[in-house]
């Protein structure tokens, strides 16, 4: 587990000049030898780097940030371009110089830290070489808190199921709670079977020490009543409707929703903004054994609604349903779920753009704006009423896996919504939680999605 870090404020540092592309080429900083940069082919296009020679080695560098971006494009541009600098600059401390007024350094600094994440639990990793001196005007604590939340989410997802079972997820939640003075209650065994029959049914086939549980974190203090619920399927084999090997390969990431809500919680707590927050994580392993739940079984949920299991691989909505019903019983002002819920979400929008569902226009608006302004892309999809009929099977109230293969992300979201009655507003995020190949600021592996959109929207919506 690594923590994000800036270079010490008093470190000896070299300047990294941010160079904008004007209409007639790069706008050169005054003290920079433009002839050298021109001759080396530097044009200032986004992400381009030109090292500047000095008496003894590299004296500084130019970094292209391209043409001025529109306000809407700026955060993403800033976050992802500067991440590239963090990955390629030579060792040492760097300070930003020649920063244009329109440039939002917070996103740049965040991108830098995002790029320097390492997962070194099983193999020594090269530590980051180029460190950024936290630029003036940037809220250092806020940026570090956001990066720490992202690092935590990535660590939890990247850790394989052999070391990240339901008990390990519980330990991670307890650790977070202990660090920030939250209380933890964990429901297991008989109490789980009685009170949360669907969490128990999905998780009961797991091996020794990996029993299903519901983890319940509460932060003391006054605050808006917000409850976050995260899907904690520590490994998803598909159950008796077993997944083919290619689909099962990355299913250690099926606790990505839990990882994201815990990451977000970490950020909120570090910033002193977790007062009144509640976090629920149903943690299970969807395993194959003699006591696995079966296709065709009818489960009676905590809410009393009956569910016909038409596919044991649609397990996420089952465990979330009981957790959401529990959350809704105390009528939080805002209820949020995050889950690696459907392959259909990824088919619709791809791995980098998670859909979110929300009936409350003001909340949906705030989430979308925050996502755009903080380079944390999400896209709204509808709780489409006419498809309600699709989740109603023959012999029970609800169907966990409607046939036909249509609108899989929407029908999953509609299923969850049936269990949220009582909550003020409800927003559901169907995230992928995984970066399939490395991109600036996002190494291959677990990745946070939607955390910062929620973080920045919270003050307006709850």
Binding site for Mn ion (CB under 5 A): 236, 313, 315
CB of 288 to Zn ion, least distance (A): 14
Q: Is residue 60 a contact point for ligand BES (CB under 6 A)?
A: no
Residue 302 or 346: which CB sits closer to ligand BES? 346
Q: Is residue 343 a contact point for ligand BES (CB under 6 A)?
A: yes
User: Binding segment for Zn ion among 95-103, 169-177, 198-206, 227-235 (CB under 5 A)?
Assistant: 227-235
- The Cα–Cα gap between 212 and 232 comes to 10
Whole-angstrom CA distances from 316 to 103, 298, 341 are: 41, 16, 6
Residues between 243 and 262 with contacts to ligand BES, criterion CB under 6 A: 254
Of all residues in this chain, which one has the CB nearest to Zn ion in the complex? 236
From Zn ion, Mn ion, ligand BES, none, interface partner of 18 (C-beta below 5 to 8 A by class): none
The number of C-alpha atoms within 13 Å of 162 and in the hemisphere containing its C-beta is: 2
User: Binding segment for Zn ion among 92-100, 220-228, 252-260, 267-275 (CB under 5 A)?
Assistant: 252-260
CB of 188 to Mn ion, least distance (A): 22
Q: Is residue 161 a contact point for Zn ion (CB under 5 A)?
A: no
Q: Is residue 259 a contact point for Zn ion (CB under 5 A)?
A: no
| Element housing 288 (H / E) | none
Which position among 408, 440, 443, 445 is part of the footprint of ligand BES (CB under 6 A)? 408
Return the structure tokens found at 256. Answer: 């990505």
From ligand BES, Mn ion, Zn ion, none, interface partner of 343 (C-beta below 5 to 8 A by class): ligand BES
Q: Is residue 313 a contact point for ligand BES (CB under 6 A)?
A: yes
Q: Tokens 């959109």 belong to which residue?
A: 453
Whose CA is closest to 203, among 230, 158, 173, 165? 165
Report the SS3 class of residue 374. coil
Residue 14 or 253: which CB sits closer to Zn ion? 253
Q: Characterize the bridge pairing of strands 226-230 and 277-286.
A: parallel
Q: Is residue 236 a contact point for Zn ion (CB under 5 A)?
A: yes
Residue 161 or 458: which CB sits closer to Mn ion? 161
CB of 317 to ligand BES, least distance (A): 8
From Mn ion, ligand BES, Zn ion, none, interface partner of 8 (C-beta below 5 to 8 A by class): none
Whole-angstrom CA distances from 5 to 92, 287, 376, 403, 452 are: 13, 39, 21, 49, 19
Active site (annotated) includes residue 243: yes
Whole-angstrom CA distances from 63 to 83, 94, 343, 375, 441 are: 11, 12, 38, 20, 16
- The Cα–Cα gap between 373 and 370 comes to 5
User: Binding segment for ligand BES among 59-67, 194-202, 336-344, 364-372 (CB under 6 A)?
Assistant: 336-344
Q: Is residue 104 a contact point for ligand BES (CB under 6 A)?
A: no
Report the SS3 class of residue 248. helix
Q: Is residue 230 a contact point for Zn ion (CB under 5 A)?
A: no
The one catalytic residue among 118, 174, 218, 243: 243
Q: Is residue 316 a contact point for Zn ion (CB under 5 A)?
A: yes
Q: Is 10 exposed, middle or buried (0-12, 13-18, 19+ CB in 10 A)?
A: exposed
Beta strands in 301-378 (DSSP E): 306-308, 334-339, 355-358
Q: How many residues bind ligand BES (CB under 6 A)?
A: 16
Q: Degrees (nearest 5) of the Cα angle 137, 366, 105?
A: 20
CB of 230 to Mn ion, least distance (A): 15
Secondary structure letter of residue 360 according to DSSP: -
Phi, psi dihedrals of residue 435, rounded to the nearest 5°: -95, 110
Residue 77 or 210: which CB sits closer to ligand BES? 210
The one catalytic residue among 14, 302, 303, 317: 317
- The Cα–Cα gap between 5 and 290 comes to 48
Whole-angstrom CA distances from 234 to 68, 194, 258, 453 are: 44, 22, 9, 25
Residue 172 or 410: which CB sits closer to ligand BES? 410
Site string for ligand BES, 194-233 (x = CB under 6 A): ----------------------------------------
Q: Is residue 316 a contact point for ligand BES (CB under 6 A)?
A: yes
Return the structure tokens found at 242. Answer: 């077993």
Secondary structure letter of residue 7 according to DSSP: B
Q: How many residues bind Zn ion (CB under 5 A)?
A: 4
DSSP alpha helices (H): ranges in 381-425? Answer: 408-417
User: Binding segment for ligand BES among 8-16, 183-191, 312-320, 368-376 (CB under 6 A)?
Assistant: 312-320
Secondary structure letter of residue 64 according to DSSP: E
Q: Is residue 344 a contact point for ligand BES (CB under 6 A)?
A: yes
Active site (annotated) includes residue 218: no
Cβ(176)–Cβ(277) under 8 Å?
no
Cβ(351)–Cβ(434) under 8 Å?
yes
Q: Is residue 254 a contact point for Zn ion (CB under 5 A)?
A: yes
- The Cα–Cα gap between 333 and 75 comes to 29
Give residues in contact with ligand BES (CB under 6 A). Answer: 236, 254, 311, 313-316, 340-344, 346, 401, 408, 432
Give residues in contact with Zn ion (CB under 5 A). Answer: 233, 236, 254, 316
Instruction: Report, as residue numbers or ranges, the catalytic residues.
Output: 243, 317
């Amino acid at each position: 587990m690594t923590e994000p870090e800036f270079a010490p404020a008093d470190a000896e540092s070299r300047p990294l000049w941010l160079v904008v592309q004007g209409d007639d080429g790069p706008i050169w900083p005054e003290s920079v030898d433009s002839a050298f940069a021109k001759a080396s082919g530097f044009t200032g296009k986004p992400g381009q780097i030109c090292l500047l020679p000095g008496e003894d080695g590299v004296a500084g560098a130019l970094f292209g940030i391209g043409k001025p971006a529109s306000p809407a494009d700026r955060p993403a541009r800033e976050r992802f371009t500067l991440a590239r600098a963090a990955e390629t600059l030579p060792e040492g401390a760097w300070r930003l110089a020649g920063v244009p007024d329109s440039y939002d350094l917070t996103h740049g600094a965040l991108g830098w830290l995002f790029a320097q994440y390492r997962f070194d639990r099983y193999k020594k990793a090269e530590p980051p070489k180029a460190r950024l001196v936290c630029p003036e005007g940037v809220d250092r604590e806020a940026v570090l808190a956001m990066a720490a939340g992202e690092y935590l989410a990535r660590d939890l997802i990247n850790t394989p199921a052999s070391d990240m079972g339901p008990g390990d997820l519980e330990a991670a939640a307890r650790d977070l709670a202990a660090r920030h003075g939250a209380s933890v209650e964990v429901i297991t065994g008989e109490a789980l079977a009685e009170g949360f029959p669907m969490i128990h049914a999905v998780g009961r086939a797991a091996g020794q020490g990996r029993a299903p549980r519901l983890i319940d974190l509460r932060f003391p203090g006054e605050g808006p009543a917000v409850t976050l619920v995260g899907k904690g399927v520590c490994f998803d084999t598909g159950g008796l409707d077993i997944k083919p090997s290619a689909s099962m390969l990355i299913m250690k990431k099926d606790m990505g929703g839990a990882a994201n809500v815990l990451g977000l919680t970490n950020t909120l707590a570090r910033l002193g903004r977790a007062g009144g927050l509640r976090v629920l994580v149903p943690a299970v392993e969807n395993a194959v054994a003699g006591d696995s739940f079966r296709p065709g079984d009818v489960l009676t949920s905590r809410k009393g609604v009956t569910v016909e299991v038409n596919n044991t691989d649609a397990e996420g909505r089952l465990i979330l349903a009981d957790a959401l019903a529990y959350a809704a019983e105390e009528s939080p002002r805002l209820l949020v779920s995050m889950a690696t819920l459907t392959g259909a979400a990824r088919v619709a929008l791809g791995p980098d753009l998670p859909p979110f569902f929300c009936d409350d226009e003001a909340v949906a608006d705030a989430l979308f704006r925050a996502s755009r302004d903080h380079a944390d892309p999400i896209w709204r999809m509808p709780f489409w009423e006419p498809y309600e009929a699709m989740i109603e099977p023959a012999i029970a109230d609800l169907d966990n896996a409607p046939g036909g293969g249509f609108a899989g992300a929407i029908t999953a979201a509609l299923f969850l919504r049936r269990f949220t009655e009582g909550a003020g507003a409800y927003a559901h995020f169907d995230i992928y939680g995984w970066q399939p190949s490395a991109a600036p600021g996002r190494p291959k592996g677990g990745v946070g999605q939607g955390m910062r959109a929620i973080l920045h929207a919270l003050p307006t919506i709850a």
